[in-house]
Structure 1
Amino acid sequence: MPLPAKAFQRWLQGIAPDTTTADVCRISGIKRTTLAQQLVRGKVAETTVVSISRAFNINPVNALAAFDAFQELAGPVLPPTTCELVSQISTPDLLRAVLARAAVDPAGQPSAERPALSPAPHATSVKAWVEAIDDGELRHRVSVATGIAPQNYSAQLTANRLSPELAIATSQAAGVGPAGGLVASGLITEAEAGWPPGARQAALDTLPDGDLTTLAGERLQALGKALRRQEHDQEQTNKIWENLG
């Protein structure tokens, strides 16, 4: 949900009272025309607030918490659950972890080498995050609380997108920290959300071999389905072009 322009201008005046709009855009890397258009429409994108807050060395979570739509972020920082942390590990990283655990050195001992994890988010981070915190009724609760149609919610997850307001609503419905969905959607970073350094790796290390292998297998199966859909769609597109001559 875009933020009210008046509220944004009050916030901006509070953090940069002596800075012109042109300087704010220059420092934050936002195009002046982009910000001007948002102000004219009366709705400022959350990404604008995040970019400006970073430019002025303000934690984006604290910046967003200044707006009514994100007041849940103003409370105590709730640590991410283990399942949330693991959900933000990419499929290739999971596969590498499976192989690393299976590897043995010449003496027959498990290999001590551990590949570094790629940064969050990853290609299916949004859907993986929702599935990790879903008790079976989560999507229904989010639909009731926000009024979004279940198919529209699912469409966002399939596209690995989740609007900030839906991310917050999903966190509330699941009873987890409000920043997790913002990390999964790429709006903020792990560090900005207050996740401890190395938390994802630590969570991965706690997974038993069987659970890790099962999770990697589920990710691969989902990837296979997505690729088959893409191939089918491409075939249909090619047939249409062929028929058009």
Structure 2
Amino acid sequence: MPLPSKAFQRWLHGIAPDASTADVCRISGIKRTTLAQQLVRGKVAEATLVSISRAFNVNPVAALATFEAYAGLAGEAVPPTPAELVSQIDTLDLLRAMVARSAPGTAGPGQSLAATPHATSVRNWVDAIDDGELRHRVSEATRIAPQNFSAHLTANRLPPELAVATSRAAGVGPAGGLVATGLITEAEAGWPAGARQEALDRMTRGELALLAGERLQALGKSLRRQEQDHERTERIWENLG
């Protein structure tokens, strides 16, 4: 949910009372036309707030929490669950870990992980916190149609307010979904340094193999759908001559 421009301007005046709009845009790297258009429309994107927060050394989560729609982000950071941490590990990193542990004479743990988010981070995060009824609860709480929620996951995206609502419905830390979407970093969400790596290292070879297999199966289905879509498009063009 974009932030009301009046509330945003009050917040901006609070953190940078002497900065002009031009100063804010220059320091944060936001185009003046982009910010001006958002202010005129009365809706400022969360990503804009995050960029400005970082530029003025304000934690983006704390900044978002000052707005009514994101009040649930206030307070001490809630540690992510092990499942959430593993969900934010790229599939290629899982495969590397599995190969390393399978090779004779290699310890396995300690590899360097790719940064968040990854190609399926949103969908994996939701799957990691889903008890089987999560989608239903999110749909009831937000009035989003289940098929629309599924479409977001297929596209590996969630609007920030929907990510927070999903966290709330799952009973996990409110900022986890914002990390999965890439709006904020692990550190900004209060995740302990190296937590993803530690979660990976704690997995047994069996758990790692099972998860990597599930990821590969999902990837295979996705790639096959893309191939089929491409084949259909090619046939249409051939029929059109």
1:100, 1:114 within 8 Å by CA — same for their partners in 2?
no
- Name the CA distance, whole Å, in 2 between partners of 1:3 and 1:55: 18
Counterpart residue number, 2:65: 65
Call closer, same or farther: CA 1:113–1:161 in 2, change over 3 Å.
closer
Counterpart residue number, 1:43: 43
- Name the CA distance, whole Å, in 1 between partners of 2:39 and 2:107: 56
Kindly indicate whether residue 173 of structure 2 is the aligned counterpart of residue 173 of structure 1: no
* Per-residue deviation, 1:244: 1.3
Kindly indicate whether residue 10 of structure 2 is the aligned counterpart of residue 10 of structure 1: yes
1:62, 1:74 within 8 Å by CA — same for their partners in 2?
yes
Out of 231-240 and 110-119, give the one that drifted further.
Answer: 110-119
1:95, 1:216 within 8 Å by CA — same for their partners in 2?
yes
2:122, 2:181 within 8 Å by CA — same for their partners in 1?
yes
Call closer, same or farther: CA 1:31–1:19 in 2, change over 3 Å.
same
Kindly indicate whether residue 185 of structure 2 is the aligned counterpart of residue 192 of structure 1: no
Counterpart residue number, 1:130: 126
Kindly indicate whether residue 82 of structure 2 is the aligned counterpart of residue 86 of structure 1: no
- Name the CA distance, whole Å, in 2 between partners of 1:119 and 1:134: 23
TM-score (norm 1): 0.97
Counterpart residue number, 1:224: 220
- Name the CA distance, whole Å, in 2 between partners of 1:76 and 1:34: 32
| 1:101-142 CA distance string (max 9 Å, x none) | 11123xxxx335742110011000000000000000000000
Call closer, same or farther: CA 1:22–1:150 in 2, change over 3 Å.
same
For structure 2, the 5+ residue unaligned runs are: none
1:141, 1:173 within 8 Å by CA — same for their partners in 2?
yes
2:97, 2:108 within 8 Å by CA — same for their partners in 1?
no
Which of 108, 111, 116 is matched with 1:115 structurally?
Answer: 111
The size of the alignment, in residue pairs, is 241
Kindly indicate whether residue 19 of structure 2 is the aligned counterpart of residue 23 of structure 1: no
2:137, 2:169 within 8 Å by CA — same for their partners in 1?
yes
Call closer, same or farther: CA 1:203–1:40 in 2, change over 3 Å.
same
Determine helix, strand or coil for the equivalent of 2:157.
coil
Please, what is the CA RMSD of the aligned residues? 0.9
For structure 1, the 5+ residue unaligned runs are: none
- Name the CA distance, whole Å, in 1 between partners of 2:95 and 2:140: 37
| 1:85-104 CA distance string (max 9 Å, x none) | 00000000000010011112
2:28, 2:51 within 8 Å by CA — same for their partners in 1?
yes
Call closer, same or farther: CA 1:28–1:157 in 2, change over 3 Å.
same
| 1:144-167 CA distance string (max 9 Å, x none) | 000000000000001000000000
- Name the CA distance, whole Å, in 1 between partners of 2:109 and 2:148: 43
1:22, 1:32 within 8 Å by CA — same for their partners in 2?
yes
* Per-residue deviation, 1:75: 2.0
2:109, 2:201 within 8 Å by CA — same for their partners in 1?
no
Opposite residue 61 of structure 2, the aligned amino acid is V
TM-score (norm 2): 0.98
* Per-residue deviation, 1:60: 0.5
Identity percentage of aligned residues = 75
Counterpart residue number, 2:233: 237
The structure 1 segments of at least 4 consecutive aligned residues displaced by more than 2 Å after TM superposition are: 110-115
